[in-house]
């Protein structure tokens, strides 16, 4: 079925739930007016609907493949990427001095989500470039920025990030790639990297890799890692792709999904690279790119959730099976099908609103320099990434169930959503690592940022009491439970007690945030469909927070009670 980008949902969200008005009051984003925002979302939506969405099945049925050392991409992908580049969508948030639009991250994230729903395999290419652009803006030398940023922003060149090695996955500090100084300001990079999304392609231009490697004498672990920019072709004196560099695609991974996205094993053999940031400052520089990507990956999950929901709803409207209630005459009249579709829609909205809140916090931190906004953005990033991708997986899986037996048949396309989105909970830091980051690093302030957010929720809830007393009371009580759990959490000196309940704590936080944002939506659409959806979420889904918080506060003792032998018995 045709995909329809959720343009009107974003217009409503930015008008009534996660307002962009505070951004527009800043000097940095004063030009992101309502008219500009709506025009951008409308044009991006057209591109997604008309150009990218038709490529979705092509990528799955005709995967990228390696042919005589050249990566051949799926039919239509080159034209699809050209449409993205020509529209300026790669450089939406990039600095105008290098050709970017300088728009808020909130709009970049919205467009990224829409592209993900249309064709996730292709959306990965601009997402990687966007992360590299931000890393170079913050950490690149003036010479690197002048040469690379205009070409990356225009889409003439593309970017990647290279962290993972066969023996160094989440433990990045275990990497063995080496960088040797060449004596002329460049470095010789040697090593192998795996799982490199869009590590090579046949679009032309240049592929620019940000590579983590260790200099001679550098200490072990993450502290000794440096970051290098290693292009596929070394730029000549005019800045054009020149001599082929010592980096080659050894193979493409055979994956469960995302077949249209070439995931490369790259071999670096004394490849020429340039240092980005200070020596042994690689992780700090790379985290700039990774945090950008984590927001984007959360959006990928949400985009697939939206597409899977639309697909399932269209099927349910047409499918006749058994006696049903209601006027439709289709399986939409079955209570359980209604439950699934309502759950899919309500959770997709919650995840989308959380991601938008995250993006606005990032923008406000950039525009104002306010530490409170920076802390808010940091707190929401792991929630956005983990909840957004878990929602994508759950909604896609539920979409197969709505289809019944036909969902298990590949021709319907329902299964592709499950296969494509599954990896989003793994890459850019597994969702377990996101949860551990939330309960540890993000709570180093004693829970101050979390408490400030809970205070804000309760202030909004108070304003809603007269209109929706029951809904407001339910959200208030859940918020208080979240506050008590957070107080318990920060009191734990043994981090294992935090880590043992990290994932349920994160999901409980997302449930409470979702309840708050649905309540704001209901306030803006009294008596309308959004109020009805808010009632469904708050009455049926928000209560899950209680069980999640009980799990979160159970401690670690029982997790370690069973020995390895007992687990295997």
- Grouping H, G, I as helix, E, B as strand and the rest as coil, residue 260 is coil
Q: Per-residue pLDDT tens for 382-392? A: 999 999 999 99
Domain boundary among 280, 309, 344: 280
CATH classification at residue 12:
1.10.540.10
Structural domain contains residue 356: no
What residues does 249 pair with on adjacent strands? 266
Q: 3-state DSSP helix/strand/coil percent for the chain, to nearest 5?
A: 60, 10, 25
**Interatomic CA distance for residues 108 and 129, integer angstroms:** 13
Structural domain contains residue 296: no
Within a 10 A sphere around the Cβ of 65, how many other Cβ atoms?
A: 13
Residue-level pLDDT at 6:
98
Structural domain contains residue 228: yes
Structural domain contains residue 310: no
Backbone angles phi, psi at 113, to 5 degrees: -65, -45
Q: Per-residue pLDDT tens for 249-280? A: 999 999 999 999 999 999 999 999 999 999 99
Domain boundary among 92, 125, 153: 153
pLDDT band at 326 (very low <50, low <70, confident <90, very high): low
Q: Are residues 475 and 493 in the same domain?
A: yes
DSSP string across 93-154: SS-GGGT-----HHHHHHHHHHHHHHHHHHHHHHHHHHHHHHHHHHHS-HHHHHHHHHHHHH
Q: Per-residue pLDDT tens for 400-425? A: 999 999 999 999 999 999 999 999 99
Backbone angles phi, psi at 460, to 5 degrees: -65, -40
Q: Is 48 within 8 Å of 42 (Cβ atoms)? A: no
Range of the domain at 15: 7-153
Q: How far is residue 380 CA from its own chain's centroid?
A: 12
Q: Is 308 within 8 Å of 399 (Cβ atoms)? A: yes
Q: Are residues 39 and 135 in the same domain?
A: yes
Which pair of structure tokens corresponds to residue 100? 């970017």
Structural domain contains residue 362: no
Q: Per-residue pLDDT tens for 436-447? A: 999 999 999 999
Q: Are residues 142 and 164 in the same domain?
A: no
Question: Is this structure's pTM higher than 0.95?
Answer: yes
Q: Are residues 18 and 137 in the same domain?
A: yes
Q: Are residues 165 and 253 in the same domain?
A: yes
pLDDT band at 1 (very low <50, low <70, confident <90, very high): low
Q: What total of structural domains would you count in the chain?
A: 3
Q: Per-residue pLDDT tens for 494-526? A: 999 999 999 999 999 999 999 999 999 999 999
Structural domain contains residue 146: yes
Residue-level pLDDT at 293:
84
Distances (CA, A) of 563 to 552, 559, 567: 22, 10, 6
Q: Which long-range contacts (CB under 8 A, 24 or more apart) does 31-38 make?
A: 31/102, 32/103, 32/104, 32/107, 37/11, 37/107, 38/11
Which pair of structure tokens corresponds to residue 385? 């990434």
Q: Which residue has the higher pLDDT, 311 or 169?
A: 311
Residue-level pLDDT at 284:
84
Q: Are residues 164 and 255 in the same domain?
A: yes
pLDDT of 324 higher than 80: no
**Active site residue ranges:** 428
Residue-level pLDDT at 98:
97
Q: Are residues 166 and 116 in the same domain?
A: no
Domain boundary among 153, 185, 206: 153
Per-residue pLDDT, averaged over 476-483, amounts to 98
Structural domain contains residue 35: yes
329: left (phi over 0), alpha (psi -120 to 50) or beta: left
Q: Are residues 15 and 127 in the same domain?
A: yes
- Percent of the chain whose pLDDT exceeds 90: 92
Alpha helices in 319-430 (DSSP H): 335-368, 371-403, 414-421
Q: How far apart are the first and last CA of the chain?
A: 48
Q: Which residue has the higher pLDDT, 91 or 323?
A: 91
Strands 263-276 and 187-197 turn out to be antiparallel
**Interatomic CA distance for residues 237 and 259, integer angstroms:** 37
Q: Are residues 68 and 113 in the same domain?
A: yes
CATH classification at residue 467:
1.20.120
**Interatomic CA distance for residues 120 and 423, integer angstroms:** 11
Owner of token pair 């439970």: 481
- List CB contacts of 558: < 8 A, sequence separation 6 or more: none
Residue-level pLDDT at 453:
98
Q: Is 145 within 8 Å of 239 (Cβ atoms)? A: no
Q: Are residues 215 and 92 in the same domain?
A: no
Q: Are residues 87 and 186 in the same domain?
A: no
CATH classification at residue 180:
2.40.110.20
Scored b (16 or more CB within 10 A) or e, 299-322 reads: bbbbbbbbbbbbbbbebbeebeee
Q: Are residues 165 and 275 in the same domain?
A: yes
Per-residue pLDDT, averaged over 170-181, amounts to 90
Structural domain contains residue 246: yes
- List CB contacts of 191: < 8 A, sequence separation 6 or more: 165, 175, 176, 177, 178, 211, 213, 268
pLDDT band at 322 (very low <50, low <70, confident <90, very high): confident
Return the biggest CA–CA distance within the chain.
78
Q: Per-residue pLDDT tens for 420-460? A: 999 999 999 999 999 999 999 999 999 999 999 999 999 99
DSSP string across 494-517: SHHHHHHTHHHHHHHHHHHHHHHH
- Average pLDDT of the chain to the nearest whole number: 96
**Interatomic CA distance for residues 499 and 49, integer angstroms:** 42
Per-residue pLDDT, averaged over 8-28, amounts to 98
């Amino acid at each position: 079925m045709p995909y329809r980008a959720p343009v009107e949902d974003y217009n409503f969200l930015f008008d009534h739930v996660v307002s962009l008005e505070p951004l527009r009051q800043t000097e940095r984003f004063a030009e992101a007016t309502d008219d500009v925002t709506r025009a951008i979302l409308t044009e991006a939506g057209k591109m997604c609907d008309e150009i990218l969405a038709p490529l979705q099945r092509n990528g799955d049925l005709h995967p990228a493949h390696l042919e005589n050392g050249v990566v051949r991409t799926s039919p239509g992908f080159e034209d699809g990427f050209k449409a993205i580049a020509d529209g300026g969508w790669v450089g939406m948030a990039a600095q105008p001095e290098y050709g970017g639009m300088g728009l808020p991250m909130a709009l970049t994230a919205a467009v990224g989500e829409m592209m993900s729903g249309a064709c996730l395999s292709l959306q990965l290419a601009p997402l990687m470039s966007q992360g590299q652009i931000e890393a170079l803006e913050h950490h690149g030398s003036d010479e690197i920025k002048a040469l690379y940023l205009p070409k990356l922003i225009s889409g003439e060149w593309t970017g990647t990030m290279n962290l993972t090695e066969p023996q160094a996955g989440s433990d990045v500090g275990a990497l063995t790639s080496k960088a040797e100084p060449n004596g002329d300001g460049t470095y010789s990079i040697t090593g192998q990297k795996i799982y490199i999304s869009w590590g090579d392609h046949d679009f032309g231009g240049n592929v620019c890799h940000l590579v983590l490697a260790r200099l001679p004498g550098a200490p072990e672990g993450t502290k000794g890692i440096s970051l290098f920019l290693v292009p596929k072709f070394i730029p000549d004196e005019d800045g054009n792709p020149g001599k082929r560099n010592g980096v080659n695609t050894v193979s493409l991974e055979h994956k469960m999904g995302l077949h249209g996205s070439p995931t490369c094993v790259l071999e670096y053999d004394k490849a020429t690279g340039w240092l980005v940031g200070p020596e042994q400052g690689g992780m700090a520089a790379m985290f700039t790119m990774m945090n950008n990507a984590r927001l984007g990956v959360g959006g990928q999950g949400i985009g697939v959730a939206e597409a899977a929901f639309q697909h399932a709803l269209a099927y349910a409207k047409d499918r006749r099976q058994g006696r049903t209630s209601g006027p439709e005459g289709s399986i939409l009249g079955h209570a359980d099908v209604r439950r699934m579709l309502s759950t899919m829609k309500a959770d997709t909205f919650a995840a989308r609103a959380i991601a938008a809140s995250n993006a606005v916090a990032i923008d406000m931190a950039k525009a104002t320099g306010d530490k409170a906004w920076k802390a808010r953005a940091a707190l929401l990033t792991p929630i956005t990434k983990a909840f957004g991708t878990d929602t994508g997986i759950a909604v896609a899986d539920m979409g197969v169930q709505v289809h019944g037996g036909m969902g298990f048949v590949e021709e319907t396309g329902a299964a592709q959503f499950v296969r494509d989105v599954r990896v989003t909970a793994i890459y850019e830091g597994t969702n377990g690592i996101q949860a551990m980051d939330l309960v540890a690093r993000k709570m180093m302030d004693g829970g101050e940022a979390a408490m400030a957010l809970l205070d804000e929720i309760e202030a909004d809830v108070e304003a809603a009491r007269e209109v929706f007393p029951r809904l407001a009371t339910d959200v208030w009580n859940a918020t208080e439970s979240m506050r008590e759990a957070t107080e318990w959490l920060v009191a734990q000196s043994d981090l294992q007690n935090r880590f043992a309940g990290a994932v349920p704590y994160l999901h409980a936080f997302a449930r409470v945030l979702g309840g708050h944002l649905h309540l704001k939506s209901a306030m803006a659409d009294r008596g309308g469909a959004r109020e009805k959806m808010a009632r469904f979420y708050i009455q049926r889904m928000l209560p899950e927070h209680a069980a999640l918080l009980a799990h979160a506060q159970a401690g670690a003792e029982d997790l370690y009670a069973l020995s390895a032998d007992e687990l295997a018995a």
